[in-house]
Protein backbone atom coordinates (compact mmCIF):
# COMPACT_ATOMS: atom_id res chain seq x y z
CA UNK A 1 0.00 0.00 0.00
CA UNK A 2 1.25 3.48 -0.88
CA UNK A 3 0.27 6.86 0.50
CA UNK A 4 0.51 9.90 -1.77
CA UNK A 5 0.23 13.62 -0.98
CA UNK A 6 -0.60 15.67 -4.09
CA UNK A 7 -0.23 19.48 -4.20
CA UNK A 8 -2.08 21.20 -7.03
CA UNK A 9 -1.59 24.94 -7.61
CA UNK A 10 -2.07 27.55 -10.32
CA UNK A 11 0.67 27.89 -12.92
CA UNK A 12 2.75 31.01 -12.22
CA UNK A 13 1.46 32.75 -15.35
CA UNK A 14 -2.21 32.19 -14.46
CA UNK A 15 -4.29 34.69 -12.46
CA UNK A 16 -5.24 33.29 -9.03
CA UNK A 17 -8.45 35.14 -8.02
CA UNK A 18 -8.89 32.95 -4.92
CA UNK A 19 -5.37 33.78 -3.76
CA UNK A 20 -6.00 37.49 -4.40
CA UNK A 21 -9.22 37.34 -2.36
CA UNK A 22 -7.44 35.62 0.55
CA UNK A 23 -4.60 38.18 0.44
CA UNK A 24 -7.05 41.10 0.54
CA UNK A 25 -8.91 39.52 3.47
CA UNK A 26 -5.64 39.00 5.36
CA UNK A 27 -4.64 42.62 4.77
CA UNK A 28 -8.05 43.78 6.04
CA UNK A 29 -7.30 41.73 9.18
CA UNK A 30 -4.01 43.70 9.42
CA UNK A 31 -1.72 40.87 8.38
CA UNK A 32 0.43 43.14 6.24
CA UNK A 33 3.43 40.79 6.84
CA UNK A 34 1.86 38.41 4.31
CA UNK A 35 3.22 39.72 1.01
CA UNK A 36 1.73 37.04 -1.26
CA UNK A 37 -0.45 33.92 -1.00
CA UNK A 38 -1.78 31.36 -3.45
CA UNK A 39 -4.50 28.79 -2.83
CA UNK A 40 -4.58 25.34 -4.42
CA UNK A 41 -5.88 21.82 -3.80
CA UNK A 42 -4.32 19.18 -1.56
CA UNK A 43 -5.11 15.46 -1.89
CA UNK A 44 -4.10 12.55 0.33
CA UNK A 45 -4.76 9.12 -1.18
CA UNK A 46 -4.03 5.45 -0.48
CA UNK A 47 -3.10 3.41 -3.54
CA UNK A 48 -2.74 -0.35 -3.80
CA UNK A 49 0.13 -1.25 -6.12
CA UNK A 50 2.80 -3.93 -6.43
CA UNK A 51 5.69 -1.48 -6.74
CA UNK A 52 6.58 2.18 -6.29
CA UNK A 53 6.80 2.50 -10.07
CA UNK A 54 3.29 1.12 -10.47
CA UNK A 55 1.99 3.50 -7.77
CA UNK A 56 3.70 6.44 -9.53
CA UNK A 57 1.92 5.55 -12.78
CA UNK A 58 -1.46 5.56 -11.01
CA UNK A 59 -0.70 8.98 -9.44
CA UNK A 60 0.34 10.50 -12.77
CA UNK A 61 -2.78 9.08 -14.47
CA UNK A 62 -5.32 10.22 -11.89
CA UNK A 63 -3.77 13.70 -11.98
CA UNK A 64 -3.88 13.76 -15.78
CA UNK A 65 -7.41 12.35 -15.99
CA UNK A 66 -9.20 14.06 -13.10
CA UNK A 67 -7.42 15.94 -10.32
CA UNK A 68 -5.48 18.58 -12.30
CA UNK A 69 -6.65 21.11 -14.90
CA UNK A 70 -3.54 21.13 -17.08
CA UNK A 71 -4.38 24.43 -18.79
CA UNK A 72 -4.17 26.33 -15.52
CA UNK A 73 -2.62 24.10 -12.86
CA UNK A 74 0.58 22.20 -12.15
CA UNK A 75 1.20 19.59 -9.47
CA UNK A 76 3.81 17.92 -7.30
CA UNK A 77 3.46 14.83 -5.13
CA UNK A 78 5.18 12.83 -2.40
CA UNK A 79 4.79 9.04 -2.45
CA UNK A 80 5.72 6.62 0.32
CA UNK A 81 5.07 2.96 1.08
CA UNK A 82 2.96 2.33 4.19
CA UNK A 83 2.02 -0.88 6.01
CA UNK A 84 -1.41 -2.31 4.99
CA UNK B 1 11.51 36.63 4.11
CA UNK B 2 9.89 33.29 4.89
CA UNK B 3 7.98 30.90 2.64
CA UNK B 4 5.28 28.72 4.17
CA UNK B 5 3.35 25.77 2.72
CA UNK B 6 0.09 25.15 4.60
CA UNK B 7 -1.91 21.91 4.22
CA UNK B 8 -5.51 22.08 5.42
CA UNK B 9 -7.62 18.91 5.52
CA UNK B 10 -10.77 17.56 7.13
CA UNK B 11 -10.46 16.16 10.63
CA UNK B 12 -10.57 12.35 10.53
CA UNK B 13 -13.95 12.25 12.28
CA UNK B 14 -15.57 14.65 9.80
CA UNK B 15 -17.38 13.49 6.62
CA UNK B 16 -15.51 14.58 3.48
CA UNK B 17 -18.16 14.77 0.71
CA UNK B 18 -15.64 16.23 -1.77
CA UNK B 19 -13.25 13.34 -1.16
CA UNK B 20 -16.13 10.84 -1.57
CA UNK B 21 -17.10 12.47 -4.87
CA UNK B 22 -13.52 12.31 -6.17
CA UNK B 23 -13.20 8.65 -5.10
CA UNK B 24 -16.43 7.71 -6.90
CA UNK B 25 -15.28 9.54 -10.04
CA UNK B 26 -11.91 7.74 -9.95
CA UNK B 27 -13.63 4.38 -9.58
CA UNK B 28 -15.91 5.18 -12.54
CA UNK B 29 -12.67 5.86 -14.50
CA UNK B 30 -11.55 2.33 -13.42
CA UNK B 31 -8.96 3.49 -10.90
CA UNK B 32 -9.90 0.78 -8.40
CA UNK B 33 -6.31 0.84 -7.03
CA UNK B 34 -7.22 4.09 -5.24
CA UNK B 35 -8.73 2.82 -1.98
CA UNK B 36 -9.27 6.23 -0.33
CA UNK B 37 -8.77 9.93 -1.09
CA UNK B 38 -9.38 13.16 0.78
CA UNK B 39 -9.36 16.67 -0.67
CA UNK B 40 -8.22 19.76 1.25
CA UNK B 41 -6.73 23.21 0.69
CA UNK B 42 -3.10 24.05 0.01
CA UNK B 43 -1.63 27.53 0.54
CA UNK B 44 1.79 28.89 -0.36
CA UNK B 45 2.58 32.28 1.20
CA UNK B 46 5.52 34.67 1.60
CA UNK B 47 5.78 36.28 5.01
CA UNK B 48 8.05 39.15 6.06
CA UNK B 49 9.28 38.59 9.62
CA UNK B 50 12.41 39.25 11.67
CA UNK B 51 12.73 35.70 12.95
CA UNK B 52 11.41 32.19 12.36
CA UNK B 53 9.50 32.46 15.64
CA UNK B 54 7.81 35.65 14.46
CA UNK B 55 6.93 34.03 11.13
CA UNK B 56 5.50 31.00 12.96
CA UNK B 57 3.25 33.29 15.00
CA UNK B 58 1.91 34.91 11.81
CA UNK B 59 1.21 31.48 10.26
CA UNK B 60 -0.63 30.24 13.36
CA UNK B 61 -2.68 33.46 13.51
CA UNK B 62 -3.71 33.57 9.85
CA UNK B 63 -4.74 29.90 10.09
CA UNK B 64 -6.74 30.57 13.26
CA UNK B 65 -8.34 33.77 11.94
CA UNK B 66 -9.05 32.93 8.30
CA UNK B 67 -7.60 29.93 6.49
CA UNK B 68 -8.84 27.03 8.67
CA UNK B 69 -12.34 26.12 9.86
CA UNK B 70 -11.40 24.69 13.26
CA UNK B 71 -14.69 22.85 13.72
CA UNK B 72 -14.03 20.63 10.71
CA UNK B 73 -10.43 21.08 9.61
CA UNK B 74 -6.88 20.63 10.93
CA UNK B 75 -3.64 21.92 9.39
CA UNK B 76 0.09 21.38 9.13
CA UNK B 77 2.72 23.66 7.63
CA UNK B 78 6.32 23.80 6.50
CA UNK B 79 8.22 27.07 7.01
CA UNK B 80 11.58 27.99 5.53
CA UNK B 81 13.64 31.15 5.19
CA UNK B 82 14.18 32.34 1.62
CA UNK B 83 16.33 35.13 0.20
CA UNK B 84 14.41 38.41 -0.41
| B23 within a domain of the structure (yes/no) | no
| B76 within a domain of the structure (yes/no) | yes
Look at B62 and A34 and tell me if their CB atoms are within 8 Å: yes
| A21 within a domain of the structure (yes/no) | no
pLDDT in tens, B50-80: 999 999 999 999 999 999 999 999 999 999 9
The domain of B75 spans 2-14+40-81
| A77 within a domain of the structure (yes/no) | yes
| B61 within a domain of the structure (yes/no) | yes
| B24 within a domain of the structure (yes/no) | no
| A76 within a domain of the structure (yes/no) | yes
Residue B84, pLDDT > 70, answer: no
With beta carbons under 8 A apart, name residues in chain B contacting A29: 62, 65-66
Domain CATH code at residue B47:
3.30.1280.10
DSSP B70: T
CA distance linking residue B21 with residue B38, whole number of Å = 10
User: What share of chain A in percent tops pLDDT 70?
Assistant: 99
| A31 within a domain of the structure (yes/no) | no
CA distance linking residue B11 with residue B9, whole number of Å = 6
The per-residue DSSP string of A64-77 comes to IIII--TTTEEEEE
Q: How many domains does chain A have?
A: 1
pLDDT in tens, A35-65: 999 999 999 999 999 999 999 999 999 999 9
The nearest alpha carbon in chain B to A84 belongs to B35
Contact present, A46 and A8 (Cβ < 8 Å): no
pLDDT in tens, B4-37: 999 999 998 888 899 999 999 999 999 999 999 9
Look at A44 and B38 and tell me if their CB atoms are within 8 Å: yes
Amino acid sequence: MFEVKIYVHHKASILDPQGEAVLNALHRLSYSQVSSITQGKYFEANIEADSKEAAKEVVESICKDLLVNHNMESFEYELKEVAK
